């Protein structure tokens, strides 16, 4: 059966060569948001969202990466009003005390880190530590979100749910509605899993309208949008797979709108990766995202377990690493990065302040209204008039 996307592509006049139709896609750096007829006081802008049956005061989630989220940062994120997602197949569930493992990751040089990580992540995930980490976060009175891969969802998911997890994220580079093995059997049937597990399931990652629509039909509460844009991810180079984020979000959000109109069930679209500054977050929401998941901006927090380093979830892969370890430094408290006050001029701190200021300038009183603002294609938006900043490596020229 021909999908709507394939039909649209065939009707397009754009070709990269005979027999291969294509279409143009856009990233955050190629678009800009257009002010409308009214503006608002900053205080009138509501950035809260609904995820499942829960209300989050902030539309920001911390990525389930070992350099970003541990028990401590998950609790801080929850108390600030956002959500920290802990990786249930990372260092913190392989080692009861992961201090030495982190020391090795952080202490090795740029020629050693993949081999060091492969060795450290070869240690088995311990099911008792999955339960322990969930309980440690839960004991602090915040919502608990945890991430697992599709192939381990049926084994680890019930353990996390029994321990008190509130949201279960099922993540891989690209996820489908089912995963088939070489033997021809299905490892994960998402529809059955969502019906049985007992907590909201958020899945990722996805970048197309058709895939998003099919995933929503399985009963998931939300979808993570983005393949390869993360600061530490190398999937686009290793696999050649990816869609620029502005287009990916717009396509998947269109699927969400069509799904909600057809079923009446509200779901959440989460932009995942490729957002380094406040303006990127504003653009993601204007393209249709309800919330964002970010990694590298939060890896720079003083409390982050990576202590100034950030690495992708697929970096330790024993066969084909699709991530790297980057040094992001430490710039301030997690609260300062999210809520300010900012001490730098490049948009990397006070992310919520940037979002609310953008919304007030655009006349958007809510996330839903922000999704309706005008978006234009503007390839030179980051360089126009910024000669001195670029020359002096200040502000937007960094």
Of the candidates 94, 300, 322, 325, the residue annotated as catalytic is 322
Q: Counting beta carbons within 10 angstroms of the beta carbon of residue 101, is it exposed (0 to 12), middle (13 to 18) or buried (19 or more)? A: buried
pLDDT at position 125? 97
The active-site residue out of 194, 233, 252, 282 is 233
Q: How many CB atoms lie within 10 A of CB 270?
A: 26
Q: Is 252 a catalytic residue?
A: no
Indicate if 322 belongs to the active site: yes
User: Two tokens at 286?
Assistant: 């204007």
Distance from C-alpha of 148 to C-alpha of 155, rounded to nearest angstrom: 10
| pLDDT the model gives residue 1 | 44
Q: Please, what is the Cα angle at 58 between 264 and 334, to 5 degrees?
A: 150
Looking at residue 288, what is its pLDDT?
98
Q: What is the pTM of this model?
A: 0.93
Which sign, positive or negative, has the C-alpha torsion 15, 19, 25, 29? negative
Predicted local distance difference test score (pLDDT) of residue 10: 57
Contacting residues for 262 by C-beta, under 8 A, at least 6 apart: none
Topology at the third CATH level for domain 4-379: TIM Barrel (3.20.20)
**pLDDT of the chain along its 398 residues, tens only?**
455 555 665 565 688 898 899 999 999 999 999 998 999 998 999 999 999 999 999 999 999 999 999 999 999 999 999 999 999 999 999 999 999 999 999 999 988 888 999 999 999 999 999 999 999 999 999 999 999 999 899 999 999 999 999 999 999 888 877 666 666 655 688 999 999 999 999 998 899 999 999 999 999 999 999 998 888 888 888 889 889 999 999 999 999 999 999 999 999 999 999 999 999 999 999 999 999 999 999 999 999 999 999 998 877 888 888 888 999 999 999 999 999 999 998 899 999 999 999 999 999 999 999 999 999 999 988 888 887 788 888 777 76
Given this model, what pLDDT does residue 183 score? 60
Q: Concatenated DSSP letters for 73-91?
A: HHHHHHHHTSEEEEETTSG
CB atoms within 10 A of CB 397: 15
Contact in structure between 53 and 59 (CB atoms under 8 Å):
no
What is d(CA 89, CA 94) in angstroms, rounded to the nearest whole number? 7
């Amino acid at each position: 059966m021909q999908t709507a996307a394939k039909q649209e592509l065939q009707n397009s006049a754009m070709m990269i060569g005979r027999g291969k139709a294509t279409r143009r896609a856009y990233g955050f750096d190629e678009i800009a948001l257009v002010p409308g007829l009214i503006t608002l006081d900053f205080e009138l802008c509501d950035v809260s969202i609904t995820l499942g049956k829960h209300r989050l005061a902030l539309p920001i989630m911390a990525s389930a990466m070992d350099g970003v989220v541990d028990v401590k940062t998950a609790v801080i994120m929850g108390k600030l009003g956002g959500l920290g997602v802990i990786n249930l197949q990372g260092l913190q569930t392989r080692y009861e005390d992961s201090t030495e493992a982190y020391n090795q990751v952080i202490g090795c040089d740029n020629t050693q880190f993949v081999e060091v990580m492969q060795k450290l992540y070869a240690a088995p995930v311990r099911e008792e530590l999955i339960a322990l980490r969930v309980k440690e976060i839960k004991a602090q009175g915040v919502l608990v979100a945890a991430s697992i891969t599709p192939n381990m969802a049926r084994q680890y998911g019930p353990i996390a749910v029994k321990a008190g997890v509130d949201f279960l994220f099922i993540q891989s580079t690209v996820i489908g509605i089912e995963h088939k093995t070489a033997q021809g059997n299905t490892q994960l049937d998402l529809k059955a899993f969502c019906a049985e597990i007992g907590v909201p399931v958020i899945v990722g990652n996805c970048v197309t309208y058709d895939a998003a629509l099919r995933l929503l039909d399985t009963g998931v509460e939300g979808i993570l949008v983005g393949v390869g844009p993360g600061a530490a991810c190398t999937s686009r180079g290793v696999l050649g797979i990816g869609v620029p984020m502005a287009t990916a979000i717009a396509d998947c959000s269109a699927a969400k709108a069509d799904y909600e109109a057809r079923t009446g069930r509200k779901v959440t679209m989460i932009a995942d990766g490729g957002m380094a500054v406040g303006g990127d977050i504003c653009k993601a929401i204007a393209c249709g995202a309800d919330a964002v998941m970010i990694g590298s901006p939060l890896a720079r927090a003083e409390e982050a377990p990576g202590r100034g380093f950030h690495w992708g979830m697929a970096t330790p892969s024993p066969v084909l690493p699709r991530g790297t370890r980057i040094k992001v430094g430490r710039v301030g408290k997690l609260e300062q990065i999210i809520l300010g006050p900012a001490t730098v001029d490049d948009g990397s701190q006070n992310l919520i302040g940037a979002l609310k200021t953008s919304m007030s300038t655009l006349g958007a009183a809510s996330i839903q209204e922000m999704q309706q603002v005008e978006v234009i294609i503007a390839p030179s938006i980051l360089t126009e008039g910024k000669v001195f900043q670029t020359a002096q490596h200040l502000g937007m020229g960094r």
